[in-house]
Structures are given as structure tokens and as C-alpha cells.
Chains A and B, each alone.
Chain A
């Protein structure tokens, strides 16, 4: 599976926050990521993380499995642009974004966003910012499968609306433009 590591320039106390971006089929090791985010530079005072799971129930009823497709290459690039914008806006010490693809069952982890900073405010805001943009700008698609029924998940207007709090212009829903102000 595609993987990318990069160092994004930050404006805060972390001159170059380490960034870990992965698209993977395997499960996400949340404990290992938290240890990685904590760093050893002594400056991390807050880690905020979000873990998304497969629900057992969707718009079409009980979900037996979820299929996740992505656009290799563009996915990593889009996530990289979102993380770069987050490191520009907030003082971050480390950022990890992992997203699974392939077939997943109810209760499985789908996505993890973890952010380390000196204080909680930056970590909370950056984590939510990254997640909001990931949902609407990174090229992933979900298909819900229940019994013999299969349906592609439709984008939700509320996900697009969530971007407005970050100053995003209105636009078509689900269009994976890079976060504004970045590549």
C-alpha cells in the first residue's frame, strides 16, 4: 500500500513537525502512534486524536462490510496538502494521518488522525481541521454492503458545511481540492 513520510514546515515552536501519512489495508496501531506522537523533544504537552470506526448500521440498514477505494498517489498528495495547511495554522510538534482501504467489517478502525502540540487548543483545532478536510477533499470512496445489497455512500452536506468554520469558500460537495493556501 502507498505510504509517504514527509517533514512539513511549521510556523510554531516545532520548526519542522514530523508527519506520518499512510494509506493501508492493515489495522491501525493506535498505541504505537500515540507513542510516536509524544516525541522525545520535551515540548509535547497535548495529544488529540480521532479514530473513525465502521458503524454496524447505515442508511440502507445493517452493514455487513464496508469497501473503501482510493486514488493512490492523489490520496497521499491531498492529505499532505491538508496536513501542511494545519502545520501552517497551528504550532504542531507531530501529525499522523492513517486511512485504511479495502474491505472492513463493523467495528473496524477506518481512519486515525493524531496531533501533538504544546497545549490542547492547537491540538484540538488541528485534529478537527484535518479530519474535516480529509472527509471532503481526500479521494476515498465508501461502499456499504449488506447482504446482496451494495450501495456507494453519498456525500453529506453537513461534511461540506463543516469546512466553513475554517474559512473555506462554498463549493460543490465532496470536491477534493487541496486545503486553501497550500499546494
Chain B
């Protein structure tokens, strides 16, 4: 099982902040993005193709090439604007 979390504008645009995905190995972040786009449709494909999309795996910034493990928490969000 993978947990996928979305924040800020992405969470609003896609209408959810968290979802679970069944696990199938091997999977990279890029593979999961493809799965989410296939099952979520155009809005998901567009949101996850954004050039400034930030990816985090288990609370660390990561990349599309990152290989995932069962139980990982994957997060997608726009550039940060705190402070």
C-alpha cells in the first residue's frame, strides 16, 4: 500500500488531500504518476505534469526516478511559500 498526499493548490484542484494506492512492485514515482493520471483523468495528468511540481517521499524531497517501497508516503505539492 502507498499513501499519496496532496497539498495547497494541488489538494484543492484535485479535490482530495490523501488517498491510498494498492502496492505493485517495482514502482518508481514516475510509474505512480502514470497510474494516477490513468485513473484520475485529465486534471490529474495536467497537475502532475506541472514543471514546478515538488515530489516528496517519506518527508524528503525526491524525484520521478525514485524507486518506491511498500508502505511509502508519496506527496505532491506546489512550490512552498511560507515564512
The residues of A with any CB-CB pair to B shorter than 8 Å are 52, 68-71, 73-74, 77-78, 99, 110-111, 131, 134-143, 152-155, 159, 172-178
Contact = CB atoms under 8 A, between A and B. Distances in A.
Nearest to A139: B80
Contact of A99 (B51, B77, B82): B82
**Smallest CB-CB A-B distances: 4 pairs:** A174-B79, A140-B82, A135-B83, A141-B8
A143 B82 CA distance: 10
Contacts of A159: 83
Contacts of A131: 83
Interface of B: 5, 7-9, 51-52, 54, 56, 59-61, 75, 77-83
Q: Which of A74, A138, A152, A154 has the most CB of B within 10 A?
A: A74
Nearest to A142: B81
12 contacts: A68-B82, A69-B7, A135-B82, A139-B77, A139-B80, A141-B78, A142-B81, A152-B8, A174-B52, A174-B54, A175-B80, A176-B80
Nearest to A67: B8
B71 to A, nearest CB: 15
Nearest to A77: B59
Contact of A134 (B9, B75, B82): B82
A139 B79 CA distance: 8
B24 to A, nearest CB: 25
A99 B81 CA distance: 12
A183 B28 CA distance: 22
Given A111-B82, A141-B8, A173-B52, 5 more contacts: A135-B83, A141-B82, A142-B82, A175-B80, A176-B56
Given A173-B52, A174-B52, A111 B61 contact: no
Contacts of B77: 71, 139, 141
Contacts of B59: 71, 73-74, 77-78
